[in-house]
């Protein structure tokens, strides 16, 4: 594991791929690897690109990668795809729209499966971002899967969030949802050659104005045609502008601190749940409570509280399983 960590820190692509695979399959060695690289993270800037399916997110990311490479930055791309119902792997693993970058040694591209994540962004993506950071990538671009509405989970990963929409009526309705209005740092109306694109941009701008909030950063609304590259340079410049704004106002570190705290709570919840499930069959008392819930003799909420409060139950769980 020490050798893998050293290879990753030296920027070796094969080591980076192996490390991400360790995370994806929940390998027991993954925590040690993450601990080893931790002192070397924090230098990369993460941009999240989210939006409904068909909005052109992959093409936009390819354009952004080209812009960042032109500025001399090394780039990591994490494209989150739906899971195959058979293998559990990413369905869209071959990113045709990003083929231009596959031969660039300073670009690393990885498709990752949602693996049942309801928000369209698996928790393991946060670890993968840190691995790319430790491997020396200057910029990390994260594309969410798009599951019919824009996912809010991207806030837990990205420093700058770009919400990509297209000029259809359904997307105009999506735009007015409060959650979506709160997460975007940059709005992109892609496929701006389609009818209704100007109306879509006007709706977003009006919604921002009506929010009544005196925001220190007003999200710009940018028309683009990712296929031709039109408007993509303006998007790139706005992302750089938002990065400068966060850095100069100390908000960047505040965002990252909140994300680290939230991730700790998520890991605790996941790990405690896993350990509890492994103990249910080994404890007669836990098995009895489980049976009572199954038979509808006891409601799940009361059973859960009893499990947590009964000192005789092995929920000092909290002790690592040998």
The pLDDT tens digits for 125-181 are 999 999 999 999 999 999 987 654 446 788 889 999 999 988 875 555 555 565 666
Owner of token pair 């009006």 = 206
pLDDT (0 to 100) of residue 150: 44
Q: Answer yes or no: are the C-beta atoms of 76 and 43 closer than 8 Å.
A: no
The candidate with the shortest Cα–Cα distance to 188, out of 160, 158, 164, 219, is 164
Average per-residue pLDDT for the chain:
83
- Which CATH code is given to the segment(s) 41-249? 3.40.50.300
Give the model's pLDDT for residue 170.
57
Domains of the chain, by residue range, sit at 1-38, 41-249, 260-318
Helix (H) and strand (E) counts for the chain?
12, 7
Burial class (CB in 10 A: 0-12, 13-18, 19+), 39: exposed
Per-residue pLDDT tens over the stretch 234-271: 999 999 999 999 999 999 999 999 999 988 988 888 88
pLDDT for residue 32 is more than 50 = yes
For 280-305, write each residue's pLDDT tens digit. 767 788 888 888 999 999 999 998 88
Residue 149, helix vs strand vs coil: coil
C-alpha distances out from residue 240 to 45, 70, 76, 267, Å: 10, 14, 17, 31
At residue 94 the predicted structure's pLDDT band, cuts being 50, 70 and 90, is very low
310 three-class SS: coil
The residue-averaged pLDDT of 178-192 equals: 83
Regarding predicted confidence, which is higher, 115 or 148?
A: 115
Q: What pTM value is reported for the model? A: 0.85
Burial of 185 (0-12, 13-18, 19+ CB in 10 A): buried
The encoded tokens of residue 159 equal 């420093």
Q: What is the mean pLDDT of residues 103-124?
A: 75
Q: What is the pLDDT of residues 204-235, one digit of tens each?
A: 888 888 765 667 899 999 999 999 999 999 99
């Amino acid at each position: 594991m020490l050798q893998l960590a050293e290879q990753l820190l030296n920027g070796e692509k094969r080591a980076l791929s192996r490390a991400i695979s360790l995370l994806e399959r929940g390998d027991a060695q993954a925590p040690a690897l993450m601990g080893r690289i931790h002192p070397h993270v924090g230098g990369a800037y993460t941009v999240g690109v989210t939006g409904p399916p068909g909005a052109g997110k992959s093409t936009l990311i390819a354009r952004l990668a080209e812009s960042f490479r032109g500025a001399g930055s090394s780039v990591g791309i994490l494209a989150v795809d739906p899971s195959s119902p058979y293998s559990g792997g990413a369905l869209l693993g071959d990113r045709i729209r990003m083929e231009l970058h596959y031969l660039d040694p300073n670009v690393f591209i990885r498709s990752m499966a949602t693996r049942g994540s309801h928000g369209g962004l698996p928790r393991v993506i946060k670890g993968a971002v840190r691995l790319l950071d430790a491997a020396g990538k200057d910029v990390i671009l994260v594309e969410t899967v798009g599951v019919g509405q824009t996912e809010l989970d991207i806030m837990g990963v990205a420093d700058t969030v770009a919400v990509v929409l297209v000029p259809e009526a359904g997307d105009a309705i999506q735009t007015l949802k409060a959650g979506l209005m709160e997460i975007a740092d940059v709005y992109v109306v892609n496929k701006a050659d389609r009818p209704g694109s100007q109306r879509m941009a006007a709706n977003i701008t009006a919604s921002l104005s009506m929010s009544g909030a005196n925001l220190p950063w007003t999200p710009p609304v940018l028309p683009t045609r990712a296929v031709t590259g039109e408007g993509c340079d303006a998007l790139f410049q706005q992302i750089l502008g938002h990065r400068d704004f966060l850095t100069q106002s100390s908000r960047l570190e505040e965002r990252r601190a909140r994300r680290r705290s939230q991730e700790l709570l998520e890991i605790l919840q996941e790990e405690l749940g896993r350990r509890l499930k492994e103990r249910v069959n080994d404890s007669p008392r836990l098995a009895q409570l489980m049976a009572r819930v199954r038979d509808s003799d006891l409601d799940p909420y009361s059973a859960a509280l009893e499990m947590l409060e009964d000192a005789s139950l092995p929920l000092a769980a909290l002790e690592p399983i040998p």
